[in-house]
């Protein structure tokens, strides 16, 4: 008797157990990332109320095993929802964090250049023409004086003030 070919084709169409587990773990990781988002971000994401409550509950669970099992439950709830908006919300949160970090690095670079290079002041004024030049020069002078002091005598006040000035000028320019 020949083997039943319809049974083989059904088996080929079903996803493997390994693939199903991989998808379940991926949904659990997505659920964990969503639970880490603040409430105001979660509120703007379209999702069922049961999933939203489960994500909020995840934050309250401290036990490792309890948290792991609860994330499995979150993954189960997510199987019945469209995960694309959820993935976009997590990506937007991570991208926003990366962009703010990048901006802080740019500001730090400007501060270093302003303290170490006189030409940097010229470049700064070309990019930010509305800057109070006299105040900026006094901040740079104070930061340079502070930089030559021994480490135990430095307070860092001028260094911080220069950074805050650069930061406020950039934010005012962006607005």
What pLDDT is recorded for position 4?
Answer: 52
Together in a domain, 71 and 122: no
> Is residue 33 a part of any domain in this protein?
yes
Residue tagged 């950074």 (tokens):
163
Mean pLDDT of all residues in 25-54:
85
> Is residue 90 a part of any domain in this protein?
no
> Domain of 120?
99-174
- Residue 103's domain is classified under what CATH number? 1.10.60.30
Structurally, how many domains does the chain consist of?
A: 2
> Is residue 23 a part of any domain in this protein?
yes
Whether residue 15 has pLDDT greater than 60: yes
pLDDT in tens, 114-131: 888 889 888 888 888 888
> Is residue 115 a part of any domain in this protein?
yes
- pTM for the whole thing? 0.51
pLDDT in tens, 97-112: 777 888 889 999 998 9
Together in a domain, 56 and 112: no
pLDDT in tens, 48-88: 888 888 888 888 889 999 998 988 998 888 888 888 888 88
Together in a domain, 115 and 76: no
Mean pLDDT of all residues in 140-159:
84
Together in a domain, 67 and 120: no
């Amino acid at each position: 008797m020949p083997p039943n070919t319809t049974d083989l084709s059904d088996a080929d169409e079903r996803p493997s157990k390994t693939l199903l587990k991989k998808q379940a773990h991926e949904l659990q990781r997505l659920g964990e990332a969503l639970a880490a988002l603040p409430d105001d971000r979660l509120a703007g994401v379209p999702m069922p109320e049961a999933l939203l409550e489960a994500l909020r509950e995840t934050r309250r669970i401290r036990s490792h095993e309890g948290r792991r099992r609860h994330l499995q439950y979150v993954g189960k709830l997510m199987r019945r929802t469209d995960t694309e908006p959820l993935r976009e919300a997590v990506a937007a949160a991570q991208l926003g964090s990366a962009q703010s970090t990048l901006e802080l690095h740019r500001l730090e670079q400007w501060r270093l250049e302003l303290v170490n290079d006189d030409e940097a002041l010229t470049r700064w004024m070309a990019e930010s023409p509305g800057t109070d030049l006299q105040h900026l020069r006094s901040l740079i002078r104070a930061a340079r004086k502070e930089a030559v002091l021994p480490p135990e005598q430095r307070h860092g006040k001028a260094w911080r003030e220069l950074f805050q000035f650069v930061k406020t000028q950039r934010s005012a320019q962006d607005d």
